[in-house]
Structure 1
Amino acid sequence: MHAELWAVIHRMTIATTNEYQKLVVESDSAAAINFIKHGYSPAHHCAPLVQDIRNQAARLQQISWTHTLREANMVADHLAKMGQDLPLGLHLFDRAPPDINYALLCDCIRTLKVRGS
């Protein structure tokens, strides 16, 4: 949960730094999305992260929170796997790495890839 929430904070920071005002946040963690959308106990160890997310969200014109199955977002899944081989730190791409073109196509036409296939 902690890692998922930090990922949301980093994505939102990148978006606000680039002056985006409308944002769709997708995560394959239903628990993280529900935590952000529906509240939390102030005593929960992730409460400060959720409050930071809500503070950033309040500065945007429009934001939606969506749970997306990993299989329905092949690009994010592929980039996450690719990130395991990159040096520690934030990596931004000006264009899609060539090896995710197939994943981009599948996501665009909403084709699901079943796990293990």
Structure 2
Amino acid sequence: MGIIKGLQIATANEFHHGIIESDFAMAINFVKHGCPAQYLCTTLLEDIAILVKRIFQVHWNHILQEANLVADILAKKGQDLSYGLHIFHAPPPDTIHALSSDAMGILRLRGCK
């Protein structure tokens, strides 16, 4: 659902290029290659395919959790927010250092702050 919401925001803002990164390798694999019949993800993948057609170029990347500190901080922050979609128009102050680290490709060990 996170991928779908991200694509909906991208298409609503008329983005023409996108990089979709997830630490959930199976999700990226399903988007790239389809999902086996025993999984109930066909409808989600169809929705993703429709949204992707509205964007000129999309790259799909599996990224290790350790390489995406910002996503980890935002996921934890989401636990304290009210239910629903929250869009930040500027990076929250507690993500500034993490943005720099992610941009430089600095990895952190799991469990380390």
Q: TM-score, normalised by structure 2?
A: 0.94
- Could you tell me how far 1:42 is from its partner in structure 2? 4.9
Unaligned runs of 5+ in 2: none
Deviations 1:66-98 (A, max 9, x none): 000011011111100110111101111111111
SS at match of 2:109: coil
Letter in 2 for 1:105: S
Unaligned runs of 5+ in 1: 1-5
Residue in structure 2 matched with residue 73 of structure 1 by the alignment: 68
- Could you tell me how far 1:44 is from its partner in structure 2? 2.9
Residue in structure 2 matched with residue 3 of structure 1 by the alignment: none
Mapped to 2, the partners of 1:87 and 1:13 lie a distance apart of 20
Moved more, 11-20 or 49-58: 49-58
Mapped to 1, the partners of 2:106 and 2:38 lie a distance apart of 41
Letter in 2 for 1:60: I
Stretches of 4+ aligned residues off by more than 6 angstroms: none
Mapped to 2, the partners of 1:87 and 1:12 lie a distance apart of 22
SS at match of 1:66: strand
Moved more, 105-114 or 33-42: 33-42
Deviations 1:95-115 (A, max 9, x none): 111111111111011100111
Deviations 1:56-75 (A, max 9, x none): 11221101110000110111
Mapped to 2, the partners of 1:97 and 1:59 lie a distance apart of 29
Structural mapping, 1:1-117, within 5 Å: 6-42=1-37, 44-117=39-112
SS at match of 2:6: helix
RMSD of Structure 2 on Structure 1 (CA):
1.1
SS at match of 2:5: helix
Q: TM-score, normalised by structure 1?
A: 0.91
